Amino acid sequence: MFTLFHHPFCPHSRFIRLVLGELGADLRLVEERTWERREAFLALNPAGTTPVLIDESDGVIPGTGVIAEYIDETFGAGMAERRLMPQTPAERVEVRRLVAWFNEKFFEEASNPLVTERIYKRFMSEGEGGGAPSAEVMRAAKANVRYHLAYIGWLARTRNYLAGDRITYADLAAAAHLSAIDYLGDVPWAEDDAAKAWYARVKSRPSFRPLLSEWLAGVPASQTYVDLDF
């Protein structure tokens, strides 16, 4: 049994949920609003960020990259052809490069600004940084989504999946970030058919179903969010 401290629209949390979904893990979710800086949560992860995984056997595993590596080291070999990290060092480097691209670069430039401005700020007090969303920040983030989508499209046109022949952590990381902002309607799918077709394949996997069933009161999902044939 795993316990995951997460936020439903935290892209990093969504990545780990997809990974655990591919594993078929028994998972208990605990929603964490990191801006509240709860002492009990900070004791688990002094960085104060989600996700944080608790394994009944091994204890607390904090942070996206640490959790992903832990899952592969602990369960990867038993997944055989379904393993989400390749076997060869060169292939693993490419997966790690792309995971870092989405969990760091895409997060900083696109998904985090959009989720923060349009979702998190709704629940923050003024002292926590809440208030009206910044049109300037959202405009810049939406522009950044376009070039990231073009890069995903280029990868999808040259490979079967983003990092190679089969699905890996790279696909789940990219899809997790896109899913959070697709809920908001901030992905211009019409601009790249290859990226759209790749996302439709990943989105149709059983591990994605729990994400697509979630919704936020007062913020309706976009028309493309739950549609598997969008």
pLDDT digits (tens, 9 = 90+) for 58-86: 999 999 999 999 999 999 889 888 999 99
Percent of the chain past pLDDT 90, that is, above it, reads 93
For 96-104, what is the mean pLDDT? 98
Domains and CATH numbers, the chain: 2-82 (3.40.30.10), 89-212 (1.20.1050.10)
CB 130 within 8 A of CB 121: yes
pLDDT at position 81, please?
87
> What is the side-by-side strand order in the sheet with 27-31?
27-31, 2-6, 52-55, 59-62
Q: For residues 58 and 68, what is the distance between their CA atoms, to the nearest angstrom? A: 14
pLDDT at position 34, please?
98
Give SS3 for 12. Answer: helix
End-to-end CA, the chain:
35
pLDDT at position 27, please?
95
CB 145 within 8 A of CB 106: no
Q: For residue 109, name the pLDDT band (cuts at 50, 70, 90).
A: very high
- Residue 229 reports pLDDT greater than 90: no
Q: How many CA atoms does the CB half-sphere of 180 hold within 13 Å? A: 32
Please tell me the total number of residues recorded for the chain in this structure: 230
Q: For residue 1, name the pLDDT band (cuts at 50, 70, 90).
A: confident
Q: For residue 218, name the pLDDT band (cuts at 50, 70, 90).
A: confident
Which residues does 204 contact at the CB level (< 8 Å), separation at least 6? 228
Q: For residues 144 and 159, what is the distance between their CA atoms, to the nearest angstrom? A: 23
pLDDT at position 157, please?
98
For 16-33, what is the mean pLDDT? 97
Q: What is the DSSP string of 52-72?
A: EEEETTTEEEESHHHHHHHHI
Encode pLDDT of 140-195 as tens digits.
999 999 999 999 999 999 999 999 999 999 999 999 999 999 999 999 999 999 99
Strand partners, 4: 29, 53
Q: For residues 153 and 193, what is the distance between their CA atoms, to the nearest angstrom? A: 7
For 22-40, what is the mean pLDDT? 97
pLDDT at position 66, please?
98
Range in 41-55, 136-150, 206-220 with the lowest mean pLDDT: 206-220
